[in-house]
């Protein structure tokens, strides 16, 4: 745990008692604060009270006497579409609102660092897609290189549940727009922007607000190095804003699909090869095509981001390349779970929408595609350009028949259940083909979440080995 600094004897309110909220309350108490808490859920409040936490209804003005700050969990709206009543009360009373990310950045450095030979560093990753894989890949590369490292934020461990830093440690944080939007302190040493596509627009008041929330990581924090994906105009704009000129290598531009020619520092992937260029000449190249844990152009962009971040930390290209080959990928994200009789089985249960499913379909050849679930508005018609490599589709769940109507000439069957889809794909697949779970739909018709759906697929595939 990282005790929060600068809160001794202050009364601090915590709104939301999920994973991050409970950890925040604990870290504040460890820093000497008097903590009061609130959650909209009666069961959650009961559990908090049983743990000895002091409840106070923060939607009522009488609860705010003497409160110095409100720390809110990331899922709670603070501005759009409208502030939560407790946050509205804080705004009315002039009480500062922050989140656990802000507390982390102001509390991470301690006097213990005076005895360190090498200062700890923080790498923070944001963007619309690829954040989790990029974060996990950077963490993996550091582990493989023997560097002390921790990973947290929006993935794995909450930031205040991390351990205090060791000498030369690198903390790798995935940060969502919900987290960057509100944090009052954002001071990473290296910051990464992967890409931008429309998401959470109601929460941010539109695409401009969404981009502004991501941009705060760079504008507020002033990282020593900024790694910026420039495949969208927002990334090009951000890189331009941060750079003092074409040769300013504090900004590393990255891309998947285009060659980046400049006199600065760039990392890009084209036709399966990653290239690093500095001062107008190539200094390193990596063949990504045979790396099982990073299939497809979207993962090649993740590889570029992780490569650039770890190069900025001083790692050598061959050290990074070796770690790429041992990276198994994140569960449920283009994860190869088995190769059986020359057939590759891939779990991309996280592909819950058309955009994510398209990236998965583009990553493989000769695909037997398991799709379906609780379909979203618009169906899968937008996937028509990506169906050319699909040998056959096996449709499951609530939207199976709706999806079938949008497949055109692509062969398919209504499999209904995951068990039937896996069994039929196993019986029909040929060596060299890939059986891909990329549902293009939510899981809630048959599973509580996409993780359980992916775990079920993986268990069924594992059973095929016996």
The helix or strand, by DSSP H or E, that contains position 316, with its residue range, turns out to be none
Contacts of 185 (CB under 8 A, 6+ apart): 101, 102, 103, 105, 106
The annotation status of 180 as a binding-site residue, yes or no, is: no
Whether 195 contacts 130, CB under 8 Å: yes
Per DSSP, helices labelled H in 119-270 are 131-144, 177-182, 201-204, 207-219, 233-242
The annotation status of 263 as a binding-site residue, yes or no, is: no
The annotation status of 127 as a binding-site residue, yes or no, is: yes
Give the other-Cβ count within 10 Å of 133's Cβ.
Answer: 28
The annotation status of 133 as a binding-site residue, yes or no, is: yes
Backbone torsions φ then ψ of 391, nearest 5 degrees? -70, -40
- Rounded Cα distance between 362 and 389, Å, is 8
The helix or strand, by DSSP H or E, that contains position 100, with its residue range, turns out to be helix 100-107
The annotation status of 452 as a binding-site residue, yes or no, is: no
Question: Among 86, 88, 84, which Cα is nearest to 75's?
Answer: 84
The annotation status of 292 as a binding-site residue, yes or no, is: no
Structure token digits, residue 1: 């745990």
The annotation status of 132 as a binding-site residue, yes or no, is: yes
Exposure string of 266-300, with b = 16+ CB inside 10 Å and e = fewer, is bbbbeeeebbbbbeeeeebebebeebbbbbbbbbb
Any idea which residue has 């592909």 for tokens? 351
Whether 98 contacts 183, CB under 8 Å: yes
Residue 156, CA distances (Å) to 2, 153, 425 in order: 16, 7, 33
3-state secondary structure of 315: coil
- Rounded Cα distance between 20 and 17, Å, is 7
Peptide bond into 81 cis (omega under 30): yes
SS3 letters across 19-60: HHHHHHHHHHHHCCCEEEEECCCHHHHHHHHHCCCEECCCCC
Whether 214 contacts 177, CB under 8 Å: yes
Question: Among 282, 333, 301, which Cα is nearest to 232's?
Answer: 301
DSSP symbol at 216: H
Give the other-Cβ count within 10 Å of 258's Cβ.
Answer: 11
DSSP symbol at 425: H
Give binding residues as ranges: 127-133
Give binding residues for ATP as ranges: 127-133
């Amino acid at each position: 745990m990282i005790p929060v600094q600068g809160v001794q004897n202050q009364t601090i309110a915590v709104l939301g008692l999920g994973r991050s909220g409970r950890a925040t309350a604990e870290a504040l108490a460890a820093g000497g604060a008097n903590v009061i808490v609130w959650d909209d859920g009666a069961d959650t409040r009961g559990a908090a009270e049983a743990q000895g936490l002091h409840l106070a209804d923060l939607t009522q003005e009488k609860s705010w006497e003497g409160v110095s700050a409100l720390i809110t969990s990331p899922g709670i709206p603070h501005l759009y579409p409208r502030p939560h009543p407790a946050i509205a009360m804080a705004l009315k009373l002039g009480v500062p609102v922050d989140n656990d990310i802000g507390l982390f950045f102001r509390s991470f450095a301690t006097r213990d660092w005076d005895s360190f030979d090498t200062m700890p560093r923080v790498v923070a990753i944001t963007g619309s897609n690829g954040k989790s894989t990029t974060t996990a890949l950077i963490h993996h590369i550091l582990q493989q290189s023997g560097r002390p490292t921790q990973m947290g934020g929006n993935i794995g461990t909450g930031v205040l549940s991390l351990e205090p830093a060791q000498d030369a440690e690198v903390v790798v944080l995935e940060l969502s727009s919900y987290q960057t939007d509100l944090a009052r302190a954002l001071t990473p040493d290296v910051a990464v922007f992967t890409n931008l596509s429309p998401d959470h627009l109601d929460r941010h008041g539109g695409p401009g607000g969404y981009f502004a929330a991501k941009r705060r990581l760079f504008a507020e924090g002033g990282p020593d190095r900024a790694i910026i994906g420039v495949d969208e105009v927002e990334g090009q704009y951000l890189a331009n804003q941060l750079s003092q000129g074409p040769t300013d290598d504090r900004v590393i531009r990255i891309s998947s699909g285009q060659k980046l020619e400049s006199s600065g520092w760039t990392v890009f992937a084209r036709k399966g090869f990653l290239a690093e260029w500095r001062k107008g000449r190539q200094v390193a190249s990596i063949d990504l095509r045979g790396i099982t844990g990073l299939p497809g152009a979207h993962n090649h962009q993740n590889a570029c981001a992780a490569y650039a971040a770890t190069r900025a930390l001083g790692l050598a290209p061959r050290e990074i390349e070796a770690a790429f080959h041992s990276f198994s990928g994140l569960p449920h994200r283009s994860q190869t779970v088995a190769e059986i009789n020359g057939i590759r089985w891939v779990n991309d249960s996280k592909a819950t929408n058309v955009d994510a499913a398209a990236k998965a379909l583009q990553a493989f050849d000769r695909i037997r595609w398991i799709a379906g679930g609780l379909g979203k508005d618009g169906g899968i018609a937008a996937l028509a350009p990506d169906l050319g490599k699909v040998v056959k589709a096996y449709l499951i769940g609530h939207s199976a028949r709706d999806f079938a109507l949008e497949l055109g000439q692509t062969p398919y069957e209504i499999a209904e259940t995951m068990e039937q889809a896996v069994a039929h794909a196993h019986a029909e697949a040929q060596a060299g083909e890939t059986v891909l779970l990329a549902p293009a739909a939510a899981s809630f018709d048959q599973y509580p979440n996409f993780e359980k759906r992916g775990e079920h697929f993986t268990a069924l595939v594992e059973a095929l080995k016996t």
